Structure 1
Amino acid sequence: MRALRSSAVAAVAAAAVLTAVSGCSGKADKNAADAIAIKASDDKCEVAKTSFPAGDVTFKIENKGSKVTEVYVYAEGDRIVTERENIGPGTKAEITATIKKAGSYEIACKPGMKGDGIRQKITVTGGSEKAEKKNPELDKAVAAYRTYVQQQADETLPVAQKFADAVKNGDLDEAKKLYAPSRTGWERTEPVAESFGDIDPKTDVREDGLEKGQTWTGWHKLEKSLWDAKQITDEDKKLADQLITDLKDWQKRVGTAEITPTSMANGAKELLDEVATRKVTGEEERYSHTDLADFEANVEGAEKAYDLLKPVAAKNDAALAAELDKQFAAVKKALADYREGDGYKSYDTVGQDDRKKLSDAVNALAEPLSKLAGAVAK
């Protein structure tokens, strides 16, 4: 789970389409000269230009505050259309995007990476014929990825139900055994799952990510009971049923998610960021120490998106595709060293030197993966 999103985010909102592109060349380089500056601080979110025409837009973000921040662009109804997380104090980041539809949007800066953020309304005007052009190969990739994310949701429910049943039966050992497998489909498609911002806080939030007044539910609440408290309470049994209810909601709605070639590419990068900032650190599965299973699922999901986009990416940037092939193989090889039976070693047995090796492998992949969206958008 990444930084907590506002629970007020609507599931399906305006038909506006904004596709984020990271590391673009060509068109994006041209647009960089006209980039819109965003100065984020602990109490301000200053956007240099609040009205601009549809088409390619580059946002150059500077964090002038003392806290790590993130910047979101929201469409009507608080639908998350693009974002950049983990922007450290005194650092800069860039988001290049294609906004295909005119309409009202909001930019939110979130110091501390929590809450609704400090918001600035923006207006996108006009239209862009170029933005509406179709690429059959990319359309095919999107269709295949949409099938994949639905399949992951469909396959998650039976396993999650077994996990929930074990909790309700008070079977501590069986629940522990099924905990990590019940999360695999979610972890493979996490960026799509999180686009429904009201589901993620119910199912995958950690205790330190709770908003004021929010009731803790979902996997990690049950994880704490199973491994830390080492007991299953009547409340946990009710939470197991609630988890299934929320996952069924995800399963039903995932087919309506807005998916574009660049959202697939940037989603792959987000999955690697999840590994780098939460799995490698041991932060995500702090009680069960099943982080390596999550790690594997995140990498598998990122590679799936890349494989579907590769035919176009390789045509546009053969060197990038070759590097991505190399680095995906390296990450999977590094992870394989920690295999144990049908799963992975408990992450609390992985020393700091080994964690550093895993981190280095992930970072070596994340850098070229940040350019994938640019390659498919050429």
Structure 2
Amino acid sequence: MRRLIVVSAVGALALAGCGGTSDEPAAGGEKGGPITVAANDTACEIARGSADAGTSVFNVTNKGQKVTEFYVYAPGDRVMGEVENIAPGLSRELHVELPAGSYETACKPGMIGKGIRAAFTVSGSSAPLTDDAALAAATDSYARYVKSQTDALQTKTEEFVTAVKAGDVDKARALFPVARTYWERIEPVAEIFGDLDPRIDGREEVTEEGMKFGGFHRIEKDLWAAKPDISSDGPIADQLLTDVKEIVTKAQAEKLSPLQLANGAKGLLDEVASGKITGEEDRYSHTDLWDFNANVEGSKAAIAALRPVLEERDAALVKTLDTEFTNVDTALAKHRAGDGWKLHNQLTQADLKELSDAINALAEPISKVAAVVSKK
């Protein structure tokens, strides 16, 4: 879930100046090579502002003091590619397939706000990665997974909304983590479509952007209040269902690039690291482990779709991924409770460290998948 914050008019002008690009080649920005991005807490320096159509590689280094993110946006803030959770002093690569057109790049210090943006232009033409039959089959396979999950998301959200509007607190509480399971499995796809993600899944911080706090987490807050009261949440629930139906329609129509599968598999682990391990995501209900498990399952599904390609191109990487997914499952299984999971506030610091270490160990090999997919 992407968080948002206001940038003042004066600050926005200053940040826009810091985010300027140049079409002149710079170190690490040679035409056709990786494009370096030097990010800090107030600037986002892109080595060049243009590229040829096809796969672009951005090498993002965080030189600031805050954790940052890097995005490539198409018009309408449609997310073409992103890397999250880039800690100070670390570098991450983003492989993204871009046809000819006008885009924006954005660094997000603190992982909040609209970001420090700059124009980015792609020209020429290139055969899509899906011209490879195996990669086309991978995207078709994953599209079937997205359809199954979004169909279930709509069904379970309808049940959740019905319970909220009926004032049935116990039933709504039981359905809250179940409905969100389907959302969390396909969240990288849902995040493509501009403000729909924060409308559905925005935490309370979205009010800092001037957005209305609604969706799942607004109802969650009322459900788990000291004295639960959802008597006025009917309109919020109706809007949630309307937004979910829109996501379902758009997600099922979306033609994904194989690199979006690879980046999404890593992005789901970033979601775990930045929100679920910390307990920040479901701060009122403490049902974060439902989301944690769903994120991991969604990551597995993307890798499963790509598996035939990965086995052919890097069998050793597949073996490592299998091992690390198993290790995550083993660590998480310790916290089963009936058909669900323990609450986040029932976990010890040792429990959280074990889970975090397992996710980090998996994230490292998954970060290599995009480079393997983009090989020709």
* Same fold, TM-score > 0.5, yes or no: yes
Place the TM-score, normalised by the shorter chain, in its bin. Answer: 0.7 to 0.9
**Structure 1 contact 5–197 (Cα < 8 Å) conserved:** no
Does the 8 Å contact 1:31/1:57 carry over to 2? no
Partner residue, 1:255? 252
1:142 paired with 2:139, answer yes
Counterpart of 1:43 in structure 2 is 42
Which stretch has the larger CA shift, 81-90 or 335-344? 81-90
SS of 2:71's equivalent?
strand
Please report how far the alpha carbon of residue 35 of structure 1 lies from its aligned counterpart in structure 2 after TM superposition.
2.6
Amino acid aligned to 1:127: S
Query: Is contact 1:59-1:96 (8 Å) kept?
Result: yes
Match of 2:104 among 93, 103, 106: 106
Q: Find the aligned partners of 2:259 and 2:248 in 1 and give their Cα distance.
A: 23
Alpha-carbon distance between aligned partners in 2 of 1:148 and 1:376, rounded to the nearest angstrom: 19
1:200 aligns with 2:220: no
Is residue 169 from structure 1 mapped to residue 166 from structure 2 by the alignment? yes
C-alpha separation between the residues in 1 aligned to 2:129 and 2:176? 43
In the alignment, does 2:318 pair up with 1:315?
Answer: no
Q: Residues 38-60 of structure 1: CA distance to partner in whole angstroms, max 9, x if unpaired? A: 22233332222123322343322
Cα root mean square deviation, aligned: 2.3
Give the unaligned 5+ runs of structure 2: 7-27
CA shift for structure 1 position 209? 4.0
Query: For each residue in 1:215-266, what CA deviation from the matched residue of structure 2 results, as whole angstroms up to 9, or x when unmatched?
Result: 1001111111111243224331221121111111111211222412111111
Tell me which residue corresponds to 1:115.
113
- SS of the aligned residue for 1:228 comes to coil
**Are the equivalent residues in 2 in contact too, given 1:195–1:257 (CA < 8 A)?**
no
Matches within 5 A, 1:1-378: 1-4=1-4, 34-99=33-98, 101-129=99-127, 131=128, 134-378=131-375
Could you tell me the TM-score, scaled by structure 1's length? 0.87
Give per-residue Cα distances to partners, 1:172-212, cap 9 Å, x unaligned.
11111111111111111010011112211111011124443
Q: Secondary structure at the match of 2:228?
A: coil
Query: Is this contact kept in 2: 1:32–1:58, CA < 8 A?
Result: no
1:235 aligned counterpart, secondary structure: coil
3-state SS, counterpart of residue 128 of structure 1: coil
Q: Equivalent residue of 1:285, what SS? A: coil
Asked if the contact 2:58/2:94 (under 8 Å) is kept, the reply is yes
- CA displacement at 1:31 relative to structure 2: 8.3
Counterpart contact for 1:31–1:58, Cα < 8 Å: no
The aligned amino acid for 2:77 is D
Distance 1:344 1:194 in 2: 26
For the residues of structure 1 that align with 2:201 and 2:195, how far apart are their CA atoms? Answer: 11
What is the deviation of 1:5?
Answer: 9.4
Equivalent pairs, count: 354
How far has the Cα of 1:72 moved from its partner?
Answer: 1.1
Distance 1:340 1:132, change over 3 A: closer
Give me the identity figure in percent. 49
The amino acid across from 2:254 in the alignment is A
TM-score (norm 2): 0.88
Counterpart CA distance in 2 for 1:161 and 1:307 is 29
